Chains A and B, each alone.
Chain A
Amino acid sequence: MARRTVLTLSATLLVIAAIAAYVFLYLTNVPGSATAAQTANGAQLNLATVPAAATNDPHPTWVSYYVTNGQGTGWQHDTTFVVPAHSLVHVTIRQYDSSSGLRNPFISQATGTVGGTFTLDGKTMQAINPDLASHVFAIPQLGVSVPLAGIPDNAKNACGNAPCDPSTTAHTTTTFTFRTGAKGLYRWQCFVPCGAGYVLDFGGPMQTVGYMDGFLKVV
């Protein structure tokens, strides 16, 4: 009888400990973040999109966003971006992936940016050919959406896995500016079905924070 009691108590304590550990890990396992650099004209966010994450990543075949420095180097695998409230945020995205096309061509137009425009390799534009879209940077709650053009399928020196060298590998460069509002946590995502190998290409990296989506932490 005593042995049974001890066993029951031990099993109960084990289950409670497991639940407590799960809750603790859930509450403390916060994705890493990258703070936008402050400039005289606002915050500067430098990002990159790649066809495949770094070879030492848990998912080295997944497409992903990365944070870089202004030169496109110093790669950091975070998709939570910290930016100031009620400020201009200047974004530069070096895009190393090829095109997939948009399921909704409406997203081929930039919205929510200052002037409703963006630059693609230095050229000011409002929209791109939806078939040429490789990825999208969109913050639906702020109304921000910018399409990112892909590199040609036959591009020379295409980059495989992150990190990619902007001086030697093919990429497009998109820049735009948007204004943040009140403090808060806003989600961002890509709208191009680029999670190859998953249902409707919207699984895997599309549904895992840290790859093709994340948060904009406005502070």
Chain B
Amino acid sequence: MNTADHTPHFRRVALLWLIATAILTPIVIFVFGPGLPPGNGSAQAAGQVTDNTVLLALSVPVAMAVLVTLGYEIWAFRERDLTGPVLDGPAITGNSSVQMWWLIITTSLVLFLAGFGSVRLLEDGSGGGQGPSPLVNPAGYKHALQVQVLAQQWNFTYRYPGYGGVETPMLELPANTLVEFHVTSLDVVHSFWAYQLGVKADANPGVDNIAYVNTTHPTLINIHCAELCGVWHGYMFQTGKVVSKADFASWIQGAQKTYAPAAKNLTPYSKTYFPSPLGRGA
């Protein structure tokens, strides 16, 4: 056993870590970052891409510290004499300095990310459901396009209270518009997940869950239920659209005409609904 090993292992690992981090962090930010989910279908979605990029970039030095150390140790402390008996290496001893710095650095990172996430969340709600009394109301929210999302086993429909409360089987939104989603359910708990918009909001019966999103450009939206809600949960998906304002105006006008027969039967627009009828004869 060589107890007088003066090889500068720590410095070597630190140097390798620095090189790996310096190479990989810009790659993560500038190459992988723009391709991270959920894309740029809305201002909130683009913000989430930024957030994911920050998270991934900050995880690179940590991951490199672990991987470089592991790789170096496998290489540096390998058994060189394969002909002799296998000997145990030097006993592992604690290093309070390393432990302390590891705790300080990782704790600082976690606390920074908690603060960063909170600030980002408070900027515009990040497309998340904020319940019936949103903490974050974006600028101009009083003039937002209101769209109610009605979830039920196993489909979504949409009501537009600003257009006579018309209900439609598909979601269509105008581009460059602040949209105020009111997400609720007619039966069990669902979750409205509009992927390209970066919107995810739980749909609970009797609860008006508000989520804001700023649409930017025409795009298709993959809509899924993100809460296990029964046998057809996996089939509870749709494709929605963000279209130009002119196309939206034309579409909503057509929808009012197309769905006029159902409109006569609709219950008055309400922020919430409770399952009714509860069942047969109820």
Contact = CB atoms under 8 A, between A and B. Distances in A.
B259 to A, nearest CB: 6
A189 B153 CA distance: 10
B280 interface: yes
B277 A105 contact: no
Contacts, number: 91
Contact of B154 (A100, A109, A140, A199): A140
Contacts of A104: 150, 152, 157, 186
B69 interface: no
B231 interface: yes
Interface residues of B, number: 33
Contacts of B155: 138, 140, 191
Interface in B168-205: 169-170, 186-188
Given A187-B232, A213-B231, A200 B259 contact: no
Contacts of A209: 231
Contact of B188 (A106, A108, A200): A200
Contact of B232 (A103, A107, A200, A213): A213
B151 to A, nearest CB: 10
Contacts of A108: 261-262, 265
B89 interface: no
Contacts of B280: 100, 193-194, 196, 201
B74 to A, nearest CB: 34
B266 A196 contact: no
A38 interface: no
Given A100-B280, A103-B277, A104-B150, A127 B261 contact: yes
Given A103-B187, A194-B280, A196-B279, A109 B259 contact: yes
B10 interface: no
Interface in A91-111: 100-101, 103-109, 111
A106 B153 contact: no
B153 to A, nearest CB: 5
B275 interface: yes
Contact of B152 (A143, A191, A208, A213): A191
B275 A127 contact: no
Interface of B: 150, 152-155, 157, 167, 169-170, 186-188, 230-232, 235, 238, 258-259, 261-262, 264-267, 275-282
Interface of A: 100-101, 103-109, 111, 116, 126-127, 129-130, 138, 140-141, 143, 145, 187, 189, 191, 193-194, 196, 199-202, 206-209, 213
